[in-house]
Chains A and B, each alone.
Chain A
Amino acid sequence: QKEVEQDPGPLSVPEGAIVSLNCTYSNSAFQYFMWYRQYSRKGPELLMYTYSSGNKEDGRFTAQVDKSSKYISLFIRDSQPSDSATYLCAMSDVNTGGFKTIFGAGTRLFVKA
């Protein structure tokens, strides 16, 4: 079993839709949860960063962490064609510091105009 599981998609939605992206994980030591966006032929770009459980909102993006279920989500409201990219969840545990961040496989999102 992988430490982090993420449905690779692809996920295709019409412009304006609400998008829900999810990851599950098995390591209860994870405390830091990140979402990265990666456009084709580019490096990942940090979108959202959450410590422990709870919600965090930034513009059209909301990140949720449910540590009891070992489940994290990213919601995108009013999706735009420019949101078409691969979304990667990533996690780190507090004991090891910043190294050994574990990434999911990424979900490919297509937003159709």
Chain B
Amino acid sequence: ETGVTQSPTHLIKTRGQQVTLRCSSQSGHNTVSWYQQALGQGPQFIFQYYREEENGRGNFPPRFSGLQFPNYSSELNVNALELDDSALYLCASSRDRSSYEQYFGPGTRLTVT
């Protein structure tokens, strides 16, 4: 069984730029959630995708957007990057949207300068 993978591992961007982060869900999982984890904090829910549809969103502005593909992999896009967007971005997959067992990838460390 393949685990959750994320790419890239690290990324450095300049304020105002746009970034795309990628996630491959665990085999057999159709739900992907994205989280932002600032240094010394717990993960904060950004949004969840279930079968290619957004299934809920946390308190993040519209410049955070996502996609889920037919193979259940997912992208997180962030436009107009701000310094406060510097964080670890985590992707988690689950068997379906009603499952509370989430399996996390290793994360993408984004630094905005």
Contacts and interface: CB of A to CB of B under 8 A. Distances in A.
Size bracket, chain A contacts: 20 to 34
Interface string A7-46: 0100000000000000000000000101010000111111
A111 interface: no
Interface stretch (A54-62, A64-72, A76-84, A94-102): A94-102
Residue of A4, A43, A96 with most partner-chain B CB within 10 A: A43
A98 B100 contact: yes
B106 A99 contact: no
A42 B101 CA distance: 18
Contacts, number: 72
B48 A99 contact: yes
Contacts of A97: 55-56, 97-98
B104 A44 contact: yes
A68 B71 CA distance: 42
B42 A88 contact: yes
A103 B31 contact: no
Nearest to A51: B100
B16 interface: no
A44 B42 CA distance: 10
B102 interface: yes
A46 B42 contact: no
B42 A101 contact: no
Given A98-B31, A98-B48, A49 B101 contact: yes
A99 B4 contact: no
Contacts of A41: 106
Interface of B: 4, 31, 33, 35, 40-45, 47-48, 55-56, 58, 90, 92, 94, 96-107
Interface of A: 4, 6, 8, 32, 34, 36, 41-46, 49, 88, 90, 92, 96-106
The 7 A-B residue pairs with the shortest CB-CB distance, nearest first, are A103-B42, A43-B104, A99-B56, A99-B48, A32-B100, A44-B104, A105-B42
